[in-house]
């Protein structure tokens, strides 16, 4: 019996030792850097953070961390900066792949499409059998008529120089226009007899023949034709390219901000366990009857995917001049009459009111895209009946973009408890252009982040990627300095502080998505969603923030990206 007793004691000791070893291997202790907790209204730093089993279990001094978690794996930050994982206030995750692997037709500094000849050459270079096999179309995203030297849209005649044999579709940087070549028009069945759809325009030549430019709902429903992978292998390449891009910019939660049939592909990847970050979808109002009544519509993620609510789009793009305004654009788009003010996506107020009432009745969160002040007037007057009938307690309705918002409308959004997810990245990409098409004073008020905060409105900021690259550090820097391509400051009185800008993609954005209990700050009990940067945005000059680089991204304690 004595021998057996000693053997049992040794077994217990060994079991305890190995359990402790396994336990410590899963623990990571981050130290020796700027650990910014993002808690509170002023920056708070910690000396150490410990994660275990995907959760943060300690934030505090290094001495306490060493005492409590002495067996943890050390992660020496070497003076670098640790932050909560990034949550973009609004983006289109499922389209990141298009930007990542399509023809790179963004203008400088993101790519080289500075004029129409260079755009054509980029498309020609991309036109290989391997690339065409992806979707059976030649495609690219990001051309910008406000920046290319000709200051016009390409037409089918320009794209026919690339190919008349294969269909081509290129998407405007706003995401609200497409241009297709002659073969593309043929495959889409668009000709001189095709009528303009409600909420869209087919641009035409003198003989009424389409010129290849498709505005808003004349083009958007056809995007899937050119951008849908043609094989399982292509779908895999798309998915991996988009996800890798997101992780490389520090995303640990991404939004799919206007989900249509692509919900089914996202579900497929989730079920297959392919998602390395959380993706929250907002279903386009035309598809809510098909998709909202499912297990995916939940505050909790299932294999890193969930439906967060409904998306309503009320107008178009301000830089593309399809945003619906109460005042005329100073420079109307090609083919438009003087006095042109843009146009609504849903002309009938009764339809919009019905959509809000449906969402409120079902307790769906609603994201509303509105750029022009006329669209925001429509949003305000049509959401009020839903508020009056169903109440407005903690609904967290969100205005997306709000570029041309008026100050009185901000007061209305405050009264309606609407979160404003604003887009100050516009000040760099199109600030100079806005001032040309709407004037100096209104141009300086685009994305009025400071005024919104001063009025007590909850805000977030976003990239709207792939409208812009999902480069959150560039967005951060531009939110702080608000400098345009020409170096002009666009609305100096609307600048955010670096800390506020960081809040807009961490703490405040977690709140917008109903996830403040598990994300957004470095707090014990929350997910170990972490980002390591090469520099501290709070300590470098304003002009250097946009050049900060993401070095590592952790999702629930697992390293998912390392530069």
Q: Walk me through the domains of the chain, giving residue ranges and CATH numbers.
A: 1-79+519-563 (2.30.40.10), 95-227 (3.10.310.70), 250-308 (no CATH), 314-496 (3.20.20.140)
Structure confidence by residue, pLDDT tens digits, 530-542: 999 999 999 999 9
Quote the CA–CA distance of 166 and 148 in Å, as a whole number. 25
CA angle 152/158/161 to nearest 5° reads 160
Radius of gyration, CA atoms only, the chain: 25
Quote the CA–CA distance of 491 and 291 in Å, as a whole number. 41
Q: Are 285 and 310 in contact (CB under 8 A)?
A: yes
Which residues fall within 8 angstroms of residue 390, CB to CB, at 6 or more apart?
Answer: 357, 360, 361
CA-to-CA separations, 243 to 247, 262, 276, in angstroms, rounded: 6, 15, 8
Which residues fall within 8 angstroms of residue 375, CB to CB, at 6 or more apart?
Answer: 314, 315, 323, 324, 344, 345
Q: How confident is the model at residue 25 (pLDDT cuts 50, 70, 90)?
A: low
Return the H-helix or E-strand segment holding 86: strand 86-87
Q: Are 46 and 81 in contact (CB under 8 A)?
A: no
| Cβ neighbours around 299 below 10 Å, total | 12
| SS3 (DSSP) at 160 | coil
Average pLDDT over residues 406-430: 97
Q: How confident is the model at residue 505 (pLDDT cuts 50, 70, 90)?
A: very high
Q: How confident is the model at residue 109 (pLDDT cuts 50, 70, 90)?
A: confident
226-256 exposure pattern, b = at least 16 Cβ within 10 A, e = fewer: bbbbeeeebbebbbbbbbebbbbbbbbbbbb
Average pLDDT over residues 444-470: 96
Structure confidence by residue, pLDDT tens digits, 268-311: 999 999 999 999 999 999 999 999 999 999 999 999 999 999 99
Number of helices (H), then strands (E), in the chain: 22, 22
Provide the pairing of β-strand 550-555 with 530-533.
Answer: antiparallel
- What is the DSSP secondary structure assignment for residue 525, as one 8-state letter? T
CA-to-CA separations, 434 to 272, 330, 484, in angstroms, rounded: 44, 10, 10
Q: Are 256 and 227 in contact (CB under 8 A)?
A: no
- What is the DSSP secondary structure assignment for residue 452, as one 8-state letter? H
Structure confidence by residue, pLDDT tens digits, 212-242: 999 999 999 999 899 999 999 999 999 999 9
Q: How many CA atoms lie within 13 A of 8 on its CB side?
A: 5
- In sequence order, what are the beta bridge partners of 302? 305
pLDDT at res. 411: 98
* N-term to C-term CA, the chain: 59
463-494 exposure pattern, b = at least 16 Cβ within 10 A, e = fewer: bbbbbbbbbbbbbbbbbbbbbbbeeeebbeeb
Mean pLDDT of the chain: 94
Quote the CA–CA distance of 283 and 269 in Å, as a whole number. 17
């Amino acid at each position: 019996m004595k021998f057996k007793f000693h053997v049992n004691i040794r077994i217990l000791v060994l079991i305890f030792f190995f359990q402790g070893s396994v336990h410590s291997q899963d623990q990571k202790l981050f130290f020796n850097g700027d650990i910014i907790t993002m808690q509170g209204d002023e920056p708070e730093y910690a000396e150490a953070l410990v994660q275990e089993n995907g959760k943060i279990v300690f934030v505090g001094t290094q001495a306490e961390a060493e005492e409590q978690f002495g067996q943890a794996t050390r992660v020496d930050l070497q003076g670098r900066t640790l932050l909560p994982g990034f949550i973009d206030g609004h983006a289109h995750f499922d389209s990141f792949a298009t930007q990542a692997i399509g023809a790179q037709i963004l203008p400088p500094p993101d790519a080289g499409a500075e004029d129409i000849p260079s755009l054509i050459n980029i498309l020609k270079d991309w036109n290989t059998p391997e690339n065409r096999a992806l979707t059976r179309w030649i495609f690219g995203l990001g051309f910008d008529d406000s920046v290319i030297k000709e200051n016009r849209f390409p037409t089918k005649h320009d794209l026919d120089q690339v190919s008349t044999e294969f269909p081509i579709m290129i998407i405007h940087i706003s995401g609200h226009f497409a241009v297709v070549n002659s073969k593309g028009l043929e495959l889409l069945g668009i000709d001189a007899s095709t009528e303009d759809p409600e909420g869209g325009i087919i641009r035409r030549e003198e003989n009424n023949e389409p010129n290849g430019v498709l505005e808003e709902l004349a083009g958007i429903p056809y995007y899937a034709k050119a951008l849908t992978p043609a094989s399982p292998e292509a779908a895999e390449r798309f998915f991996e390219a988009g996800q890798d891009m997101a992780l490389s910019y520090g995303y640990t939660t991404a939004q799919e901000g206007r989900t249509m049939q692509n919900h089914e592909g996202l579900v497929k990847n989730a079920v297959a366990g392919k998602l390395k970050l959380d993706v929250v979808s907002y279903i386009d109002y035309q598809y809510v009857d098909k998709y909202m009544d499912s297990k995916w519509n939940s505050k909790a993620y299932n294999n890193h995917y969930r439906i967060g609510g409904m998306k309503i789009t009320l107008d178009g793009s301000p830089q593309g001049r399809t945003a619906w305004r109460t005042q005329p654009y100073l420079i109307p788009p090609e083919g438009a009459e003087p006095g042109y003010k843009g146009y609504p996506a849903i002309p009938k107020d009764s339809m919009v009111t019905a959509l809000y009432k449906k969402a409120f009745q079902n307790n769906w969160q609603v994201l509303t895209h509105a750029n022009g002040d006329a669209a925001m007037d429509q949003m305000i007057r049509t959401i009020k009946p839903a508020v009056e009938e169903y109440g407005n307690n903690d609904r967290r309705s969100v205005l997306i973009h709000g570029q041309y918002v008026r100050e009185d409308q901000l007061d209305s959004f405050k009264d309606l408890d609407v979160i404003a997810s604003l887009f100050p990245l516009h000040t760099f990409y199109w600030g100079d252009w806005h001032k040309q098409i709407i004037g100096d004073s209104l141009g300086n008020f685009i994305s009025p982040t400071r005024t919104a905060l001063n009025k007590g409105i909850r805000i977030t900021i976003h990239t709207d990627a792939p409208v812009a690259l999902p480069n959150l550090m560039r967005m951060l820097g531009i939110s702080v300095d608000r400098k345009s391509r020409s170096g002009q400051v666009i609305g100096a009185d609307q600048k955010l502080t670096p800390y506020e800008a960081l809040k807009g993609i961490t703490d405040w954005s977690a709140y917008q998505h109903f996830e403040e209990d598990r994300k957004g700050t470095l707090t014990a009990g929350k997910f170990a969603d972490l980002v390591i940067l090469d520099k501290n945005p709070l300590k470098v000059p304003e002009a250097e923030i946009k050049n900060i680089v993401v070095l590592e991204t952790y999702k629930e304690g697992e390293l998912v990206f390392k530069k």
